[in-house]
Amino acid sequence: MLIFLFSCSGNSDKHLIPDRDMVKILTEIHKADAMVNLPMIRKRFGSVDSLTYSDYILKKYHYSRELFDSTLAELSGNPAKFDKIYERVLRNLNQEEGRLNEIEEKALLPTEGIDLWDRKRNWSFPADGSREMIEFDLPLKGVGTYTLFFRAKLYNDDGSMNPRAMVWFWYDNGTPNGLRKMFPVKHFLRTEKWENYTISAELTDTLFTRIRGYIIHSDPVPGEWSKHCEIQDIKLLFKPSSPTNKTQ
């Protein structure tokens, strides 16, 4: 990717940029290269000459274009050293990508409302129970919108069948099981990656008194089996309904 950035010159005896700074410079050049190729950037600013941003980065670290070219030329003749430098560059880029992904995921977390969840928020199976379903039963706070949110990672060797989150409003109508008003069922994705799950429903009937459910329910499975799943950041948010303006 960086061949275009330098012209070969065999000045192996002249001063070179230290490896530590080369790692930083190459990392920033790769990040800038990825950014200027984003469709939204191209649409707004058109094509950006790579020399423009690479010169800016070199100036930031107080090195000249000539010294940068000479250092790259020297490294091109020492593949083992160049590979080690690029391993550090790629490690930096991967760490940066992970950090940005974490920021993006947190930005998507629901924040509006009062958090009613008053129990353990993070679970790891089978350490916290090979068949634990995280059952809950909490009092309602009145009419409004109730949102259950959590993050989960379900592994391929998880033994549960049809794992899903189930939530319902409940009140005692005199029958053995009471009356339920179900939320939409949210099925788990077996991707071995962190996934965000959100289930929401609006309560308008004040007869209901409880919100109940399971974070990870599943169908019966014969024989020995165990869950392999991680669940984090459980929240149960309540946002009261806005009062209706009545006009005479």
Kindly give the pairing relationship between strand 123-125 and strand 229-240: antiparallel
Q: What is the pLDDT of residue 39?
A: 67
Residue 247 lies in a domain: no
Domain end position, chosen among 73, 107, 141? 107
**Same domain for 206 and 145:** yes
Q: What pLDDT score does 207 carry? A: 95
The string of DSSP codes covering the chain is --GGG------TTS----HHHHHHHHHHHHHHHHHHTSHHHHHHH----HHHHHHHHHHHTT--HHHHHHHHHHHHT-HHHHHHHHHHHHHHHHHHHHHHHHHHHHHTS---SEE---S---EEETTT-TT---EEEEE--SSEEEEEEEEEEE-TT---EEEEEEEEEEE--SSTT-EEEEPPPEEPP-SSS-EEEEEEEEE--TT--EEEEEEEEEE---SS----EEEEEEEEEEEEPPPPP---
Q: Rounded CA gap, 87 and 84, in Å?
A: 5
Is residue 234 included in any domain, yes or no?
Answer: yes
Q: Does residue 248 lie in a domain region?
A: no
Interacting residues of 202 by C-beta distance below 8 A, sequence separation 6+: 144, 145, 146, 241
Integer Cα distance of 216 and 130 in angstroms: 12
pLDDT at residue number 42: 61
Q: How confident is the model at residue 173 (pLDDT cuts 50, 70, 90)?
A: very high
Give the pLDDT of residue 6: 43
The answer to whether position 245 is within a domain reads: no
Are 212 and 95 within one domain? no
> Residue 196: is its pLDDT beyond 50?
yes
**How many separate domains does the chain show?**
2
Name the percent of the chain lying above pLDDT 90: 67
Burial class (CB in 10 A: 0-12, 13-18, 19+), 82: middle
Q: What integer pLDDT is reported at residue 52 of this predicted model? A: 74
Same domain, 36 and 72: yes
Whether 78 and 38 share a structural domain: yes
Report residue 246's pLDDT band, with 50, 70 and 90 as the boundaries.
very low
- The verdict on 119 and 236 lying in the same domain is yes
pLDDT over 70 for what percent of the chain?
Answer: 81
99 and 7 in a common domain: yes
Average pLDDT over residues 115-144: 96
pLDDT at residue 210, rounded to an integer: 97
Task: Please state, in angstroms and as integers, the Cα–Cα distance from residue 100 to each residue in 143, 153, 167, following that order.
Answer: 37, 19, 32
Is residue 126 reached through a cis peptide bond, with omega within 30 degrees of 0 on the bond before it? Answer: yes
> Which pLDDT score, from 0 to 100, does residue 106 have?
58
Do 122 and 235 sit in the same domain of this protein? Answer: yes
Domain boundary among 107, 127, 147: 107
Residue 23 pLDDT exceeds 70: yes
pLDDT mean over 192-220: 95
Query: Are 76 and 18 in the same domain?
Result: yes
Question: Are residues 132 and 78 part of one domain?
Answer: no
Whether the per-residue pLDDT at 80 is higher than 80: the answer is yes
**Is residue 96 domain-shared with residue 121, that is, in the same domain?**
no
Domain that holds residue 161: 114-240
Q: Which CATH number is 181's domain given?
A: 2.60.120
**Mean pLDDT over residues 111-128, rounded?**
92
98/143 same-domain check:
no
Tell me what pLDDT residue 10 has. Answer: 44
Asked if residue 246 is part of any domain, the answer here is no
Residue 60 lies in a domain: yes
**Among 78, 107, 136, where does a domain finish?**
107
Q: Are residues 93 and 150 in the same domain?
A: no
Do the domain assignments include residue 207? yes
